[in-house]
A and B are shown apart, each in its own frame.
Chain A
Amino acid sequence: MFGYFLERFRALVLSVLLIACFALPAFAGPFEDAVAKFANDEFSDTAEAIEAVASSGNPLAFPIISALQEERLSADPESKKVFITQADGKIIDAATGAVVDKLPDNAASVRLNNRLRRTVEAALGSLTLLSPDPAKRVAAAQSVFKSHDENALPVVEGALAKETDKAAKQAFTEARAAIILFKSDASDNDKLDAVAVIKARGDQEALALLTSAGSDQPPLVAQAITGAISSIQSNLAMWSAVQNAWYGLSLGSVLLLAAIGLAITFGVMGVINMAHGEMVMIGAYTTFVVQEVIRTRYPGLFDYSLLIAVPLAFLVAGGIGVAIERSIIRFLYGRPLETLLATWGLSLVLQQAVRTMFGPTNREVGNPSWMSGAFELGQITITYNRLWILCFTLAVFVILLAMLGYTALGLEMRAVTQNRRMAASMGIATSRVDALTFGLGSGIAGIAGVALSQIDNVSPNLGQSYIIDSFMVVVFGGVGNLWGTLVGAFTLGIANKFLEPVAGAVLGKIAILVLIILFIQKRPRGLFALKGRAVEA
């Protein structure tokens, strides 16, 4: 029933759209009646209103329907008036286009459900097939590709004929192929061409389309479809290996980021720092505070919030790190068991302190626009946040290496870890270096928190979920060796992601743990064992 309605509605939209292209004057009465239906707060009435508005040819049709999609359309149930809140905050009457001062008190935004959302998308697709913006035309062609609605064929073909943009042309060609494949009276040759076009597209949507088109086709076409399906499937299987590798890299970068601070405090200094995860959490909460301030005071700066948060998180977490070292850890050097207990207690204190200050529930940290969304590379989807985190992790790693290798502080740090007494007798203030090293490790954990706030919950428990993984990476990679941490993190990430599709997430994780235990039996000092004096110290 609904399918039939949708078909009829699309036909209507398109035919009227064609006429509207020739600048027919807008007809007033029925349009206003249709708009008023949005105020009834009934899904069936809203559906009728969308149909009528989309097919009205009125210049307000596009603003109304796009406002509906973005929850910017509100209606007053009493006066039956409908309003659009524009992106710039201006409010206009949807029926007349006149500017209104403010929304009536009892105006509520017009509700949608998924079915209506699909109707809205289809209507917008049809309304934007001839849009001047090529990106919108591509999106519109994509929605036609999905709906493969026969009635759109004339518009698609018309658009295709005069299309100059390469991407849009490709999208229209594919949309046309999708329609022809489902058209019952198309010739076999046309259909075979269509199958070839869709096969060339080769992604999951093409596969979905071909699979659903497989039944009741002429034998020749059916054969071509089967061939195309298996070729796309084998192609996708190849890509899935690439995808696993990418996911592994991405997971590895998260592990590395979480572990890299620990590689300093535990790896270089030998402090079993159970409060490491809480430094990560403090970094994430710093990001939250920065974003809150930006949201209330300088909303324009939101896209830079992470850049501002990184140095602040380093300072906050680093400062707390120095304070912890001075007040607790310096009394416990060389006593691992006590350090473990003390830092564990400390992690509880920090968690509860944050819980009391910010509440036990998750805090919302938004993604800046450049961290949201994804792009397609071949047949895999790469999300921007993961890509940026990978780049960021590598940058942090390189900076840290350079710092340890080429600065005076780095030299002192290495000297103190390798031979404390010798370093002291050379005039290095070892206790100051200890505090700074611990502060550096904590500060880097804070930076990690900024990045992890983009993919995980910002809650008092954030740190706990990373502490075990971090220790695993550092121990596996070899204590005291930054390169070991790097290799360890990426090895674990990639191994995990290749195991996960086969064994499932739960078994995969267990398998990784067992493998590490076996590995540590063989090589107790991890992948890259340190040699020389430092080991015995």
Chain B
Amino acid sequence: MITQLTHDIARLSRRGWLAAAAGLVLGLASSPFSPAKAADDTIKVGVLHSLSGTMAISETTLKDTILFLIDEQNKKGGVLGKKLEAVVVDPASNWPLFAEKARELITKDKVAVVFGCWTSVSRKSVLPVFKELNNILFYPVQYEGEESERNVFYTGAAPNQQAIPAVDYLMKDEKVKRWVLAGTDYVYPRTTNKILEAYLKSKGVKQEDIMINYTPFGHSDWQTIVADIKKFGSAGKKTAVVSTINGDANVPFYKELGNQGIKATDIPVVAFSVGEEELAGIDTKPLVGHLAAWNYFESIKTPANEKFIKDWQAYTKNPKRVTNDPMEAYYIGFNMWVKAVEKVKSTDPDKVIDALPGIEAPNLTGGVSKMLPNHHITKPVFIGEIKGNGQFDVVWKTPGLVAGDAWSKELEGSRDLIGDWVGKKCGNWNTKTNKCGGQGS
């Protein structure tokens, strides 16, 4: 038996491996980036995004965004008189590989800062590396909150900058009384739905008027769930779906909604993970009126946004290339980092981390975002309705900027916590006991 196996492996190294290895090499070589070259007169910026595997669909755009922002900055003369140089690695949608690649970026390539991660699990995977090697991570995606780390700056939305305002809008403007919380089965939807459930109950919504539903990643057969939603919605009360469905599963979900004839005027769906990029793969005519809550929409008309879109399309040489919310989060985050570096005249992580809170940078929707002591930023919240052309039409926005809460006020146990890296030097300061520590890390 064993000899057979060794024999197999021996033969494997001859032909099978050749074919398989050739496959891998070809696969990687076709990614459009070249390895970093060592140069002392540049500041290195790490880019940690999956360029292959399931998450490539979302993360490739963010890699391009950072390269674009670096290119723009270099045209303006770089930072501290030095050019910026991107070091791109591909963690291939593999969570442990994120940690390895992060270590490689910091120790081998000696980057000054890393822009990266999409899923929460990849962020959690690289956290220990950033703490141990003391570097900076900018994280651009909306997430579930309940975290504030010294080495991480969160420029995407916390739940109170996306989910809660969206639910408020539906309650006030659409008079929604019954709620379906539908999500993909992982940490972001589960935490967000826990927060939303607590929030809805605090507003007097009864348990029987809330339906919670989870589906696996990449779920493609939505018939049963859409029929359930239809049934749940026929109880004589206005019903809405709050969707934290992630990634690829959205397209079949929306197709099934359209085919089963659920219109936005009957049961509106408000989504937290569907932006311009995701809609680019669907015929949006049957979806007109369904909603999304974001801090940025491509359709918002401001001079800064128009210039950004024009430059982006010129940079990617694609006049149809869309922009989305995480891209804006990078725009803000990148500019904040540049300002902080210029303020302390150094790229030393400790100095930059201390300088970042309080730094202000304009966002693309006409306001100025500010980095807060809890390492989250202030952002406006917009509700957009899907239009027939794949864009969103803003129907509502918060009157001013909303400060991101690292710890949700709706959840037992996190209510009393705050993140404050300026005064308290602590990510989970308990305001009741006045001690650092408590839940979370």
By the criterion CB–CB under 8 Å, are B56 and A455 in contact?
no
A117 near B289 with CB under 8 A, answer yes
Question: Is there a chain A Cβ closer than 8 Å to B388's Cβ?
Answer: yes
B174 touches A338 (CB 8 A): no
B194 near A: Cβ within 8 Å? Answer: no
Is B306 part of the binding interface, using a Cβ–Cβ cutoff of 8 Å? no
Q: Are A501 and B281 in contact (CB under 8 A)?
A: no
Residues of A within 8 A of B260 (CB): 374, 381, 383
Query: What is the distance, in angstroms, from B29's C-beta to the closest C-beta of chain A?
Result: 9
Q: Any chain B CB within 8 A of the CB of A483? A: no
Say which one of B69-77, B136-144, B249-257, B326-334 lies at the interface with A.
Answer: B249-257
Report which residue of B16, B22, B277 has the largest number of chain A beta carbons within 10 angstroms of its beta carbon: B16
Among A111, A331, A458, A465, point to the contact of B218 (Cβ < 8 A): A465
Judge if B57 is at the interface, Cβ distance under 8 Å: yes
Check B15–A331 contact: CB distance below 8 A.
yes
For B20, B223, B278, B281, which residue has the most chain A Cβ atoms within 10 angstroms? Answer: B223
Interface centre among B19, B30, B237, B395 (most CB of A within 10 A): B19
On whether the beta carbons of B278 and A362 are closer than 8 Å, the reply is yes
CB-nearest residue of chain A to B22: A345
Q: Find out whether the CB atom of A351 lies under 8 angstroms from the CB atom of B220.
A: no
A207 to B277, Cβ gap below 8 A? no
Which residues of chain A are within 8 angstroms of B224 by Cβ–Cβ distance?
244, 247, 497, 500-501, 505
A344 CA to B218 CA, complexed, in Å: 20
User: Are the CB atoms of B19 and A345 closer together than 8 Å?
Assistant: yes
Q: Is B440 an interface residue (CB 8 A)?
A: no
Q: Across the interface, which residues of A come within 8 angstroms of B268, CB to CB?
A: 114
Q: Which residues of A contact B289 (CB under 8 A)?
A: 112-114, 117
Our count of residue pairs bridging A and B at CB distance below 8 angstroms stands at 212
Complex CA gap A198/B51 in Å reads 56
The reply on B24 being an interface residue by CB < 8 A is: yes
* Interface: A273 (CB within 8 A): no
Q: Of residues 184 to 229 in B, which have CB atoms within 8 Å of A's CB atoms?
A: 185, 213-216, 218-221, 223-225, 227-228
Q: Does B26 contact A (CB under 8 A)?
A: yes
Binds B, one of A75-83, A353-361, A471-479: A353-361
Interface residues of B in 37-95 (CB under 8 A from A): 51-54, 56-57, 60-61
Q: Are B281 and A506 in contact (CB under 8 A)?
A: no
Chain-B contact segment, one of A28-36, A96-104, A208-216, A434-442: A208-216
Q: Is the Cβ of B251 less than 8 Å from the Cβ of A461?
A: no
Stretch in A56-64, A161-169, A364-372, A400-408 with 4+ CB within 8 Å of B: A364-372
**Given the contacts A455-B255, A456-B251, A505-B215, A360 and B56 also touching, CB distance less than 8 Å:** yes
In the complex, the answer to whether B251 meets A362 with C-beta atoms within 8 Å is: yes
| A355-B56 contact given A455-B220, A457-B281, CB 8 Å threshold | yes
The answer to whether A254 and B221 touch (CB under 8 A), given A344-B20, A505-B215, is yes
Tell me whether B346 is interfacial, beta carbon within 8 Å: no
Are A353 and B30 in touch, CB under 8 angstroms? yes
Closest B residue by C-beta to A214: B236
Docked-complex contact A352 and B52, CB < 8 angstroms: yes
> What 0/1 pattern do residues 110 to 135 of A give for CB contact below 8 A with B?
01111101100100000000000000
Taken together as a complex, chains A and B put the C-alpha atoms of A125 and B385 apart, in Å, by: 23
Does residue A53 face the partner (Cβ distance < 8 Å to B)? Answer: no
Per the 8 Å Cβ criterion, residues 320-346 of A in contact with B are 328, 331-332, 335, 337-339, 341-342, 344-346
Residue numbers in A under 8 Å from B280 (CB-CB): 361-362, 364
- At the interface, yes or no: A251 with Cβ under 8 Å from chain B? yes
Q: Within the complex, which residue of B23, B218, B231, B248 is in contact with A345, where a contact is CB–CB below 8 Å? A: B23
Question: Bound state CA distance, A373 and B261, in angstroms?
Answer: 7
Contact residues in A for B174 (Cβ distance below 8 Å): 114-115
On whether the beta carbons of B223 and A251 are closer than 8 Å, the reply is: yes
B348 at the interface (CB under 8 A from A): no
Give bound CA distance, A204 to B229, whole Å: 12
Report the minimum CB–CB distance from A354 to chain B (whole Å).
10
Q: Given A352-B27, A456-B220, A505-B225, do A461 and B248 touch, yes or no (CB 8 Å)?
A: yes
Chain B residues with CB below 8 A from A465, complex form = 218, 220, 248
A294 is an interface residue with CB less than 8 A from chain B: no
Residue contact A383 to B248, C-beta cutoff 8 Å: no
Q: Which of A114, A244, A352, A456 has the most CB of B within 10 A?
A: A114
Question: Chain A residues with Cβ under 8 A from B286's Cβ?
Answer: 372
- B residues within 8 A CB of A346? 19, 23
Would B393 and A111 count as touching, CB distance under 8 A?
A: yes
Is A509 interfacial (CB-CB < 8 Å)?
yes
> Residue of B at shortest CB range from A117?
B265
Chain B residues near A464 (CB-CB < 8 A)? 54, 218
Q: In the complex, which residues of chain B have a beta carbon less than 8 angstroms from the beta carbon of A265?
A: none
Q: In the complex, what distance in Å separates the CA atom of A85 from the CA atom of B389?
A: 16
**In the complex, how many angstroms separate the beta carbon of B132 from the nearest chain A beta carbon?**
31
For B56, B235, B261, the residue with the greatest tally of chain A CB atoms inside 10 Å of its CB is B56
Contacts of B221 in A (CB 8 A): 247, 250-251, 254
Contact with B along A306-320 (1 / 0, CB 8 A): 000000000000000
B 383-430 contacts with A by CB, 8 A: 385, 387-388, 393, 395
* Chain B residues packing against A (C-beta within 8 Å): 8, 11-12, 15-17, 19-24, 26-28, 30-32, 51-54, 56-57, 60-61, 173-174, 185, 213-216, 218-221, 223-225, 227-228, 230-231, 233-237, 248, 251-252, 255-256, 258-261, 264-265, 268, 277-278, 280-283, 286, 288-289, 291, 385, 387-388, 393, 395
List 28 A-B pairs, Cβ < 8 Å. Answer: A111-B393, A114-B174, A204-B230, A208-B236, A211-B234, A250-B223, A251-B223, A254-B221, A332-B15, A337-B12, A341-B16, A344-B23, A349-B27, A355-B30, A360-B51, A360-B60, A362-B248, A364-B280, A364-B283, A372-B286, A384-B259, A457-B281, A461-B57, A461-B248, A497-B223, A501-B224, A505-B215, A506-B214
